[in-house]
Structure 1
C-alpha cells in the first residue's frame, strides 16, 4: 500500500517544526492553560535538576510562553495537580490525565524494585511515617542501611521512597529546591485515576501509542536510533519501523520528504493538517523574526541528527564532558532567530550570596550577519529572559564580550 507522502522544502520543514513547538513568529501558548496546551501537544517535557538559568523544563516553557514564570509550573504540578512528574522520556513532566497510560511503566518498576528484600521490608515503615507525619524528605526517615543505587550508594530510605514513587504508590508533594518531598499518591490524585486500568490491552497497542506520542514530542521523526527514543527500550528500530508503517497505512502518520534530510521522516497527520490550515506562509512573512533561547534538552533538540540536517546546527550538551574536552561550555543554550539557529551562549551565576546572573560565553554561528532587526530581536529576547529569571541585569563576562562586544548594549537594554 502506497503511503501518503508530502514534499517540503528545507525552510518549510523547519517552520513546521518551529510552529509545532510554539517557536514560530506568533506565540500561541500563554499562561497556565498555554503550558497545558503545549504539554498535551508534545506529550511531555524533560526534567533535569541542573539550574544554570532555571531547570530544563522551565527553560523549555520560557522560550514558548512570553509570560512564563516558574511558579506557574510549580502550581500546575503541586497545587492544581494537572501535571505530574514521572518516567516518560527519562524523568519528565506530563499531564496527570495520562497517568493510566503509564501503568506498564509503573508495574515494571514494581517488578524491578518491589521484590528487593531490603526495600520490601522497609515500605511499611515509609507508609506509616507518611500517614503519621505527612509529606517527608527521604532523609527525614532514619535508616542506617546503604544500598548500591542508581548513580551511587544510597540510604535505604531514599531507595525505598524512590522505588515507591516509581511504581506509583508515592508522588512528589512538592520540591524543596531539587529535593523531592514525598507523600502517598492517594492524598493527591483522584481514586478513579489511581484505579484506572491500562487502556492498552497488549504490548503492541501500547507501543503504537508510545510511537505516536514520541513523534508528536518532536514533530518529525524517523524510526532509526536517536535520543528521541530514550525511554522506549522495549522497542528496537526494526519494531519501530513496523509500527511507523502500520500507523502510516492507517492515515495517522504522513511521510515527509524534506530537502536536506538523508531519509524521509514522519509527522502525525493531525499536526500537519493543523499547520497547513494556519496559513504558515502569511504568518511567517507578516511579522518580524523573533529570538528565543532554547533549553539544552528541548523537545526540538531530541534528535540531534534531524537538527543538524534541517538547521545546519551541531549541538551536543556538554555538561558531562570534562572541561578540557568541551568545544563550547558547560550549560549552553542554542539561540533561535526566526527559522535559523544562529548562536549559542552559556548562562551562569557568580559565586556568593547574591548569585548574580552572567553570560559565561557567547558563540555565534560562522555565517551570522548582524542586522538592525536581529539586534532588536535579541534585545527583546534578553528582556523577556530577565523577566523570567526575575533579575534586573545579566552581566556578560570578558570572554563573552570578546566574542561579541554588542552584548554590552543588548543584554540589559
Structure 2
C-alpha cells in the first residue's frame, strides 16, 4: 500500500478520536450510544437502507450492543434531537442553542429556501400538532384533492419542512423513515439553553467539536457548508489563540494546507494482531464523509457510486470502506435482502498495492458475518 502523506501517529489520532481505534471508548448499549453521539457531535441521517441506514450503521460501528430503537429512546427522552448539521442529523441536546441561528434565519425569511410556502397551510399544520399532541406524516391527508398524502405533494411537504427548519415543530421519533412531529415544549428538557450564540461562541463550538471528534482537522473542514466572513475570521482568531496556548499545532505539510492536530491527543494503542478487527463503515460515516480529507490523510480515494449511472460505476452501487489496522484497504459492495434474510456480497475490491494475509481474510469474514446479523440476515451470499 502506498505510504500516505500523513505520519502514522496522526492517522492513529484521527481514528482514535473518531472511536475507530482498537479501544472501545464509548461504553455499551443505550448509554454508549449517547456517549458516542455527544463525542462525535452529530450523526448523519440518511434514507438509503441498502445495508442499514447511515445513522444506525455509524453508531453500530462504535458501540457494542447498539440497537436500532436506541435513537428513538434518546430522542423521546430529550437527550438528542434532529436538525441540520452539514446534512440532516441527530445532535446532542446540549448543543441545541447552536441550531438556533439556522432556525431563526428561516423564521426571519433570510434563507433562500422555502420562500413560497403557503402560510395558511403552515398555520393549519401547526394547529393540528398543537391540538393532537403528535402528528405523523401519513396523517396529513390532502383534503383539497381527496387522494394521496399531503406529504407526497409540494405544498404540504414544504409547509411541514419549513415548520421544522424554523423550529416550530420537532421530530420526536421515527418509525422507519416516517416522522412523528411534536411541539418543541413537549421535547425540550427544562433548563436547555435557548440563547442564540454569537459568532465567537459558534466558532468555539465548531472548533471544539473538531478537536474532540477528529483530532486532526483543517480550516476547510471546520467551515464545511458554513459561510460568512465574520465566522471565518472568528475561527482564524480562535485557532491562533489555541496555537499560542499550545492546545493545537499546525502540521508542516504542504499536502495538508491549514491542517491542525490536537497537542497531547492520544493515538491508538496498538493491539496485537490477534485482537485486530476489520471495520466495514457506512459511506456516510463521520470518519470518511470528508472525501478530500480521507484522500489527503489516508491516501484512500472513495466515492459513493449509488448516484452514478450503472455503466460508469467502477466498484459498485453501495460500497463500504474497509478499515484494517489504521489503513483503508479496500471496499466491499453489499446489499441486505431482508425478506430472504440474506446479505449479498456483490464484489470486493482491495487497494491494488496491498496484499491481504490470512489473518485479514479471517477477520473480513467475521466482519461480514457481524454486518449480516446487524441487518437481520442469517446467511451471506
Q: Aligning the two structures, in what range does the TM-score lie when normalised by the shorter sequence?
A: 0.7 to 0.9
Would you say how many aligned residue pairs link Structure 1 and Structure 2? 369
Indicate the SS of the match to 1:343: strand
Indicate the SS of the match to 2:19: coil
Hey, what does 2:369 align to over in structure 1?
A: 383
Q: Distance in 2 between matches of 1:246 and 1:221?
A: 14
Q: Distance in 1 between matches of 2:96 and 2:235?
A: 27
- After TM superposition, the structure 1 = structure 2 runs for residues 119-138 of structure 1, keeping only pairs within 5 Å, are 119-138=118-137
Hey, what does 1:26 align to over in structure 2?
A: 23
Point out the more displaced range, 353-362 or 175-184: 353-362
Q: Does 1:251 align with 2:245?
A: yes
Hey, what does 2:148 align to over in structure 1?
A: none
Q: Distance in 2 between matches of 1:236 and 1:327?
A: 42
> By how many angstroms is 1:294 displaced?
1.0
8 Å contact kept, 1:261–1:310? no
> By how many angstroms is 1:82 displaced?
1.1
Which of the pair is proportionally richer in helix? 1
Aligned mate of 1:311, from 298, 320, 326 = 298
Q: Distance in 1 between matches of 2:103 and 2:336?
A: 37
Indicate the SS of the match to 2:219: coil
Gaps of 5+ in 2: 146-150
> By how many angstroms is 1:108 displaced?
1.0
Q: Distance in 2 between matches of 1:141 and 1:303?
A: 37
Return closer, same or farther for 1:206/1:155 CA change in 2, 3 Å cut-off. same
Hey, what does 1:173 align to over in structure 2?
A: 172
Given the two structures, how large is their TM-score scaled by the length of structure 2?
A: 0.85
Return closer, same or farther for 1:376/1:190 CA change in 2, 3 Å cut-off. same
**Aligned Cα RMSD in Å?**
3.1
Hey, what does 1:336 align to over in structure 2?
A: 323
- After TM superposition, the structure 1 = structure 2 runs for residues 74-113 of structure 1, keeping only pairs within 5 Å, are 74-77=72-75, 79-112=76-109
- After TM superposition, the structure 1 = structure 2 runs for residues 147-158 of structure 1, keeping only pairs within 5 Å, are 154-158=153-157
4+ aligned runs moved over 6 Å, structure 1: none
Return closer, same or farther for 1:341/1:361 CA change in 2, 3 Å cut-off. same
8 Å contact kept, 1:123–1:160? yes
Return closer, same or farther for 1:256/1:392 CA change in 2, 3 Å cut-off. farther
Indicate the SS of the match to 2:245: coil
Hey, what does 1:402 align to over in structure 2?
A: none
8 Å contact kept, 1:260–1:310? no
8 Å contact kept, 2:41–2:92? yes
Gaps of 5+ in 1: 1-7, 147-151, 396-413
Return closer, same or farther for 1:154/1:87 CA change in 2, 3 Å cut-off. same
